[in-house]
Structure 1
């Protein structure tokens, strides 16, 4: 039996805010990351209209030792029949792969009605811990059991989609290149996992302080009033999508996961 549980029908509306920034005061003194500030803006926007927020701050993976996020082996993107345990996606105590954050991270994804990812660009890519979490969540979509995963794979391409049906938004920011090429795969991944996008307003890629130097990034964000407002609009779009979703008026256009090409 899978350990995944969908939010209860009667539970308060809950949005998971995933902050992908690595710097925080624990590892970079006097540094308030742009993603962290944009996450705070989104949280204020949602809580003002009565939505419960859970902030998943991935910077804690590096600033709060010995808590770790072990990488997945990416089985399901390279050879789907191998997408079953035991492997490093379920840390082995005998190899010292503990403690590991993924168990609590999965619970927070499953408890949410929607997810909003806010992340910077690291050399045209998502930050490392964000990508590690993605790889682990994709593997977890198999249900975490070897025999059912193998049987499902041999029968075709059908596979349990435990996180499907939630709404999503993505806000990607950078100061040079790579914002669009980073935002697109995040949205593609969420689509593939069966999430329902909250509209174009909630799929942002923006440059903040593009190619500027000589001052902390927080000052560039102070001037980026349009980007701050667009983040509020993205949060509002998430709130509207969740209301439609919980009212049975929002459905995914995908009846099932597409067969890989």
Structure 2
């Protein structure tokens, strides 16, 4: 592929473009120093400038792991401990997949968020703690990013680390990666409910970015020292020795709501169900897999009024929450088991 390195002049032009507010004009000496430091990091490809020895429990205890990754791995371990503690309330991860947020353009709340507000009290009434993941903050909150998946898994499953080690990349300015906070939310959850609109027959951009970055939960390598970082040759050798494809989120229950105004709701619902099933999460049943239309083929300008008037759709959304909550309770009390428990995929990938 063509080279991606840029020269000093291009780097400086792009760096300074982020500081175009007139408030920065008196700070040119300071900015010059920052540009110089940033160029040095870029020129020497310092992806992870802060590292620590991996220590006991890793294939190579002396390997220098990124401090960011170690901190996220510990957060995952703590989230798993909470998940497994029967003394704690079970947790629901409630996800708003819409990119719309009234605190930025278009200045209006999303219908997906209204559905989140509708079902949250329902979960509390059933005795669950709720973590809300509002993906609209990617468009409305400073420093919120989900960087693209680099498809390391297509080189080798062992090269795709759990949690993802591709970011942050300080030399390229690829920082503030929200996934380091999102992974523990998934691990701690006993049930996941996703509410999303349809954007051109697909999920919104932020939701799709999170989906892609969760590929490491589907067979990812929990020990980057076993591949000495991103050493493709070592990863391929490790996979060919017989990779176990660990399912890091298996056994959690899920429900989904996909809504649109004209087309695509059924498609998005199927995509989400297939993806979650591939991760070996368990559907809370047909009632918990909902799609439908609000104000079908009506003007966008009246869509919120259409949602207010559509009590049947609101009940459909509430039923997803009720079914999900019931499934988790039945499973925790030993009255519901995974029918596929103990079965192994003969062709895992």
Same fold (TM over 0.5): yes
Moved more, 138-147 or 183-192: 138-147
1:239 maps to 325
2:272 maps to 186
What residue ranges of structure 1 are gaps of 5+ in the alignment?
none
**CA distance in structure 2 between the partners assigned to 1:181 and 1:45 by the alignment:** 27
C-alpha displacement of 1:118: 0.4
C-alpha displacement of 1:181: 1.0
Aligned length: 260
Pick aligned residue for 1:208 from 294, 299, 304: 294
Pair member with larger Rg: 2
The answer to whether residue 160 in structure 2 is matched with residue 84 in structure 1 is yes
Q: 1:60-99 to 2 correspondence within 5 Å?
A: 60-76=137-153, 78-81=154-157, 83-84=159-160, 89-99=166-176
Q: Which has the higher helix share?
A: 2
C-alpha displacement of 1:183: 0.8
C-alpha displacement of 1:224: 1.5
In structure 2, relative to structure 1, the CA distance for the partners of 1:22 and 1:158 (3 Å cut) is same
Pick aligned residue for 1:20 from 97, 100, 104: 97
Local SS of the residue matching 1:72: coil
C-alpha displacement of 1:161: 1.1
C-alpha displacement of 1:42: 1.3
**What TM-score, normalized to structure 1?**
0.90
C-alpha displacement of 1:143: 3.7
Q: 1:1-261 to 2 correspondence within 5 Å?
A: 3=74, 4-5=76-77, 6=80, 7=83, 8-28=85-105, 30-76=107-153, 78-81=154-157, 83-84=159-160, 89-141=166-218, 142-146=220-224, 147=226, 150=236, 153-156=239-242, 158-213=244-299, 215-254=301-340, 255-257=343-345, 259=347
Q: Which stretches of structure 1, 4 residues or longer, exceed 4 Å deviation after superposition?
A: 85-88, 148-152
C-alpha displacement of 1:29: 5.1
Contact 1:71 1:88 in 2 (8 A): no
**Superposition RMSD on alpha carbons, in Å?**
2.4
**CA distance in structure 2 between the partners assigned to 1:27 and 1:248 by the alignment:** 46
Contact 1:89 1:139 in 2 (8 A): no
Local SS of the residue matching 2:301: coil
